[in-house]
């Protein structure tokens, strides 16, 4: 769970609190001016080297959060900036594409707190294609639980098992795995492949498999 603003105020030194106040004000200003940072801005920087100088000032703050507030608070600070700025899906996708792994993780951790519908699913899907366990763990949070279809969600579970991301990171695991016969089949196949390769199946596989054996709740009849 991300640190709240109140908790940050208790933990950050004065200079960092002042920096955060300014950063959040800039993010709020950007939210009030939806034309700021639109995708048709000229590209003034390398898209793989961090936020370009032509982007809104709060995005520069987003990139430098760890330096000013400490790496242990960077996720929480970046989440607060995203919530305040309320970027549109294309702007969020650009921020994600330009970001470091730490910045991408913060975006993924905040998706469920942004009003984006399913528009940010490509970011989740991108993270699940990587073998970066920080991104995989962040990608299977509440947003994925709410928006990934059954096929995508099952493959997300297999990705966690393959990369050894603890399944406790998967939001709504018990609810979505319950009674899922197709997921159970995929898990058995995965275990068989590991055994054939002389490798043990991860312990979490048994945890998820047990959940699939739980019958799905029967629909209640309206009186």
Q: How far is CA 7 from the centre of its chain?
A: 21
* Residue-level pLDDT at 48: 37
Alpha-carbon gap, residue 200 to 95, rounded angstroms: 39
Alpha-carbon gap, residue 75 to 117, rounded angstroms: 22
How confident is residue 100, by pLDDT bands cut at 50, 70 and 90? very high
Alpha-carbon gap, residue 172 to 143, rounded angstroms: 10
* Residue-level pLDDT at 108: 98
Instruction: Report which of residues 43 and 90 the model is more confident about.
Output: 90
Among 31, 32, 110, 20, CA closest to 65: 20
How confident is residue 53, by pLDDT bands cut at 50, 70 and 90? very low
Q: Is the pLDDT of residue 38 over 70?
A: no
How confident is residue 45, by pLDDT bands cut at 50, 70 and 90? very low
Percent pLDDT > 90 in the chain is 82
Structure tokens given for 118: 């399913």
Decide if 191 contacts 183 (C-beta within 8 A). Answer: no
pTM given for the model = 0.86
Q: What is the pLDDT of residues 104-157, one digit of tens each?
A: 999 999 999 999 999 999 999 999 999 999 999 999 999 999 999 999 999 999
Alpha-carbon gap, residue 94 to 59, rounded angstroms: 11
* Residue-level pLDDT at 35: 55
Alpha-carbon gap, residue 81 to 26, rounded angstroms: 9
Among 126, 102, 109, 128, CA closest to 50: 102
* Residue-level pLDDT at 2: 81
How confident is residue 214, by pLDDT bands cut at 50, 70 and 90? confident
């Amino acid at each position: 769970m991300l640190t709240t603003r109140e908790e940050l105020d208790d933990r950050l030194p004065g200079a960092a609190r002042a920096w955060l106040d300014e950063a959040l004000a800039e993010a709020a200003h950007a939210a009030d001016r939806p034309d700021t940072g639109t995708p048709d801005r000229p590209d003034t920087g390398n898209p793989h080297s961090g936020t370009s100088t032509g982007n809104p000032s709060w995005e520069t703050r987003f990139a430098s959060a760890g330096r000013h507030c400490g790496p242990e608070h960077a996720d929480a600070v970046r989440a607060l900036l995203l919530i305040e700025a309320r970027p549109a899906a294309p702007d969020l996708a650009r921020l994600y594409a330009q970001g470091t792994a730490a910045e991408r993780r913060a975006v993924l951790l905040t998706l469920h707190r942004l009003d984006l519908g399913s528009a940010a699913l490509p970011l989740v899907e991108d993270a699940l294609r990587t073998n970066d366990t920080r991104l995989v763990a962040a990608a299977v949070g509440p947003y994925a639980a709410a928006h990934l279809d059954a096929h995508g969600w099952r493959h997300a579970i297999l990705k966690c098992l393959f990369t050894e991301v603890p399944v406790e990171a998967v939001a709504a695991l018990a609810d979505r795995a319950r009674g899922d016969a197709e997921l159970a089949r995929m898990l058995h196949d995965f275990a068989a492949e590991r055994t054939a390769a002389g490798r043990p199946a991860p312990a979490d596989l048994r945890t998820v498999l047990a959940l699939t054996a739980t019958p799905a709740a029967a629909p209640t009849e309206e009186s």
